[in-house]
Amino acid sequence: MMFALPALVALPFFGGLAAWLSDLRGPARTPWLVSLVTLALQALLLVDLSATTFGPGWRAHFAAPWVSMLGIDIRFDMDGVSLVLLWLNLLIAIPTVLLCTRHVRDRPGLYQFLLLATIAGVNGVFLSTDMFLFFCFWELMLLPLFGVLLIWGHADRARVTLKFFLFTQGSGLLMLLSILALAVINAHDTGVLTFNYFVLAQVAGHSFLAPTIMLGFLIAFAVKMPMLPFHVWQPDTYAESPTAASVLLAGILSKTGAYGMIRFVAQMFPSATAQIAPLMIALGVIGILYCAWLAVAQDDVKRVIAYSSISHLGYIVLGVFSGTRVGTEGAVIQMVAHGLSTGALFIIAGFVEERTGTRDMRRLGGLWPAMPQFSAFAMFFTAASLGLPGIGNFVGEFMTLLGAWQISHVATFLAAFGAVLSSVYALTMMKRIFYGPAVIEGSQPLGAPSTPHLAVLGVATVLLLVLGFYPQPVLDLSTPGSLHPQSLSLAEEPAR
Amino acid sequence: MMSFSFLPNAVLVLCVGALVQMLGVAIGRNVARDAVIGLLVLVASLVAVSMPTVLYMAGSVALFAPDVWASYSAVLIILSAIAIHIMSWRNAVVSDATVGSEYYLLLTLATLGGVSMTGAVHDVSFFLGLETLSLPLLGLIAFRNGRIDAGEAAMKYIVLSGVASAMLLFGFALTYLETGSLRFIAPNTGDMPEPLLATMGTVLVLSGMFFKLSAVPFHLWLADVLEGTSIPVAALVAVLSKIALFAAMVRYFASVNLYMSGPATNEVIAVAILSMVGGNLLALVQTDLRRMLAGSSIAHIGYLLVAFLSPGPLSFASSAFYLAAYSVSTLGIFALMAGIMPQGTDIRDWHGMFRRRPMAAAAMSIMLLSLAGIPPAVGFFAKFYIAAAGMAGGRLGLLLILVMSSVIGLYYYLRVIRIMLMPAPVERPEREVTSPWFGNGALIAVLACVTLLFGVFPGTLVDLGRNLIVMPSPPPGSSGQP
């Protein structure tokens, strides 16, 4: 079991490499099969990990020296939040691989490799507890996506991809400065240079520079998520990405930002977080309302989903910065629910675009008779996204609002109003695409969706309903592992 | 094996080697033979560096200090020279049988100059090394004698290089006037009768060095020179001479407390900021790959200066690491250009390279990522190391500028990768790509592997740099008179 955590990172990467190499010769379907097998193995690994580790707090640990001169280790720790997000990552990864055969005829092996490398990087982000290693994965997971966007993206991809990359990498460098500041302060105090998360977290709690250092982390995560003033890269990028990349970006990469806020902001800098919480909650509320308002005005399907995505991520900010337990747990639920529902919506949008040739809602309409199954699914996920009770998103939004209520009644009131706006844009989107008279010429059916499509959406539906009616298993997991020295029996064993 | 001489081993070997090459040219011309001799001389000097030297002191003045810092930078210089040697072979200019032999001779001489500078602890030995590097470089830059832009580049280089040398000499003269010493070390201005003169001396020496390093605002010649000359020589200017000068500069400032704000420190800070911002802005607008690399090289000098300005345990180790990372990646790009498309240095010529030459494009991307500082390439760790040194030295302002200018840098490095990924616009004819000869292909492969391996496992190189934590030593009898 010792190597389960590094295996979670290595497996997708090498599986992707194998898929790429298998593409060089042999039938065109091999890379696809190889990556599916890789994901299946990853699922087995996760099942095993979930079954054999117990309890709250830290459930699994791995450490090995890397650059011992500078106190850098390869160090993975897994707590409940990590486990939940690893599962989410896998769930998001499966459809991107499963459904790609149709769009990607050009170099499918490379495509699989880049997707799986992204997934490996994201796994690394969710597991690393060495700050340098975390930063490595943070930067590394973007690189393959850069390739996916550039090679398989839509018309305006060149400009948009660079914008995306510059925003995320630039903010990442600020985080690097913060990490280094922590390491240097620690080295100054104790004489030991280390990038161990648990050690640096102790420093972060005490240092009088904590608010400044925290800002570096906060900006990096806020850009990645994205949060309101840092969101300008996001709608363009989501719109110009190929479907799989949109699903990955919205489904899981935005969650790395949210994860970072829980683990590296709220947990590491509790007092500084409390200081900045009013500002963050205000930004979260403004983000919820403003981006919902923008979503109402969009004509491009993917842009509606993109803006709605920022709006819903505002609830996560609310939950995390409420500083309450219920808020944090709600944020985790919201992450999972939002990942599933937005991913599904992007799959549907991609399908519509593929069959009709446009994402422009002015040129769409009356698709329900042409694609009844898909329209039904679209209705469900729209309902999920507008927060219908009984679906996971409702639980997440309700709990984050519950957390925020203890901080500010006004903010909670305004944030709740976002749900009204989200009904407006979500239902408008449904109406413009699926209802009304058919706009596309000829009433021929647009082709039945393939079985994998239906299976993927079906599974997402079931999971969202389970999350809506019985969220307790996820709630049990979603308390982050404690940083207290005495509870670090797993994490404290020396690396060398 | 111990050896006793009054020159470091590598310098001795290179001197003898240069003589042998001259003899070879005098006896009869044969480019292939001379190229092989040149390579052998370089390899022999590499072996010689690793041997411990006990310097025989002629008189009371030490000329060279064979310390770890000198050996490390000498190894880097010689390895770069070998790489440049390999990528020069079969280059259209060098293969010209009438002049090819001299090319390798000049390359050896330039290496000799660089290696002597790394160990120099006396104004004279430093200056001789510098001129031994600069003058062959002039010949190499003008080597494409049929081309008008080669002549232009050479003229620009010789005039500005002459100005820089004059400034250096004036600086040395002022220092000598004040201290009565020709030791290659910045004078301690505090206890001088005329602190102003000593300060002026230091600032002049510094400016002369910045001229040769092409740091902003002394950078104007670099882009033209790189554009005008052949690709291997451009690599020589961008890599080899910069390593040598940076190594010498570190030694010159071993005596100065760079935390103390003073004229010299302030100048270095200003130049570091200007180089980081200016170099990246210069590279941003270029359409020629060589001019872009000129800007990038200026910016990297700026990053190096940040480490240089942060004295502490990490300072030398991180600059040593960064020098290696920078050299590997930059040499790799030049080797690729020389091998794949010696005539096509316009960035647009690289459209669709991932389809036409996937391996070459992949190698190029690795090098560019390394320069941009993105994992898993070695440049990422190097930048991290520099930032760690800067943070340990409390240079937060400089680091913020480093971050900002790195973002600019990301844009133009990634633009090249983007161009290689995207198909060419239809109206533009595709330029023909050539296959690199076997040695150059191997060189590119080795450099790409090194970039990745040291990126993933930087431990070995870090351990190597640990020895450099000790400052470069001042010469024995450091308190004495000349």
> Above pLDDT 70, what percent of chain B?
90
- Per DSSP, what are the bridge partners of residue A77? A61
pLDDT band with cut points at 50, 70 and 90 for residue B311: confident
pLDDT digits (tens, 9 = 90+) for A393-414: 999 999 999 999 988 899 999 9
Give which of A131, A166, A177 to mutate to test B binding, by max B Cβ within 10 Å.
A177
Measured CA to CA, the distance from residue A236 to residue B278 in angstroms comes to: 30
Summarize the confidence of residues B327-356 as an average pLDDT.
Answer: 87
Measured CA to CA, the distance from residue A478 to residue B327 in angstroms comes to: 47
Distance of CA B362 to the CA centre of its chain: 25
Res A496: pLDDT: 36
**Cβ contacts (< 8 Å) between B404 and chain A: which residues?**
170
Of A196-210, A355-369, A469-483, B73-87, the range with the highest mean pLDDT is: B73-87
CB contact (8 A) between residue A67 and residue B462: yes
Phi/psi at A12 (nearest 5 deg)? Answer: -60, -35
Helix ranges restricted to H, A99-233: 108-127, 131-140, 142-152, 157-190, 197-206, 210-224
- Chain B touched by A174 (CB under 8 Å): yes
**Cβ contacts (< 8 Å) between B388 and chain A: which residues?**
70, 180, 183-184
Res B49: pLDDT: 86
Q: Report which of B280, B303, B302 is spatially closest to residue B384, judged by C-alpha positions.
A: B303
**Is B388 in contact with A180 (CB distance < 8 Å)?**
yes
Of A228 and A120, more confident? A120
Measured CA to CA, the distance from residue B457 to residue A136 in angstroms comes to: 13
pLDDT band with cut points at 50, 70 and 90 for residue B54: low
Whether residue B481 is predicted with pLDDT greater than 50 in this model: the reply is no
Closest-CA distance, A386 to chain B, in angstroms, reads 37
Measured CA to CA, the distance from residue A405 to residue B84 in angstroms comes to: 67
**Cβ contacts (< 8 Å) between A162 and chain B: which residues?**
411, 414-415, 418
pLDDT band with cut points at 50, 70 and 90 for residue B384: very high
**Is A311 in contact with A291 (CB distance < 8 Å)?**
yes
Of B149 and A166, more confident? A166
Measured CA to CA, the distance from residue A445 to residue A372 in angstroms comes to: 10
Of A199-203, A335-339, B87-91, B353-357, the range with the highest mean pLDDT is: A335-339
Domain residue ranges of chain B, discontinuous segments joined by +: 4-466
- Chain B touched by A192 (CB under 8 Å): no
Q: How far is CA A412 from CA A122, A290, A327, A335, A415, in A?
A: 32, 15, 12, 19, 5
| Coil, helix or strand at residue B457 | coil
Whether residue A27 is predicted with pLDDT greater than 80 in this model: the reply is no
Give CB contacts under 8 A, 24+ apart, made by B56-60.
Answer: B56/B4, B56/B5, B56/B6, B57/B6, B57/B476, B58/B6, B60/B477, B60/B480, B60/B482
Q: Report which of B139, B116, B135 is spatially closest to residue B244, judged by C-alpha positions.
A: B116
Res B195: pLDDT: 79
| Coil, helix or strand at residue A77 | strand
**Is B338 in contact with B415 (CB distance < 8 Å)?**
no
Burial class (CB in 10 A: 0-12, 13-18, 19+), A77: buried
Closest-CA distance, B363 to chain A, in angstroms, reads 15
Of B178 and B254, more confident? B178
pLDDT digits (tens, 9 = 90+) for B393-449: 888 899 999 999 999 999 999 999 988 888 777 777 777 788 888 888 999 999 999
CB contact (8 A) between residue A173 and residue B384: no
CB contact (8 A) between residue A165 and residue B388: no
What's the one-letter identity of residue A33? L
Measured CA to CA, the distance from residue B371 to residue B412 in angstroms comes to: 11
pLDDT digits (tens, 9 = 90+) for B428-444: 777 778 888 888 899 99
**Is B421 in contact with A150 (CB distance < 8 Å)?**
yes
pLDDT band with cut points at 50, 70 and 90 for residue B15: very high
Q: Report which of A286, A301, A293, A282 is spatially closest to residue A421, judged by C-alpha positions.
A: A293
Res B145: pLDDT: 61
Model pTM?
0.91
Write down the residue that tokens 């008189």 correspond to.
Answer: B59
pLDDT digits (tens, 9 = 90+) for A30-69: 888 888 899 999 999 999 888 887 767 788 888 888 888 8
Phi/psi at A75 (nearest 5 deg)? Answer: -140, 115
pLDDT band with cut points at 50, 70 and 90 for residue A221: very high
| Coil, helix or strand at residue A128 | strand
CB contact (8 A) between residue B380 and residue A68: no
ipTM given for this complex: 0.89
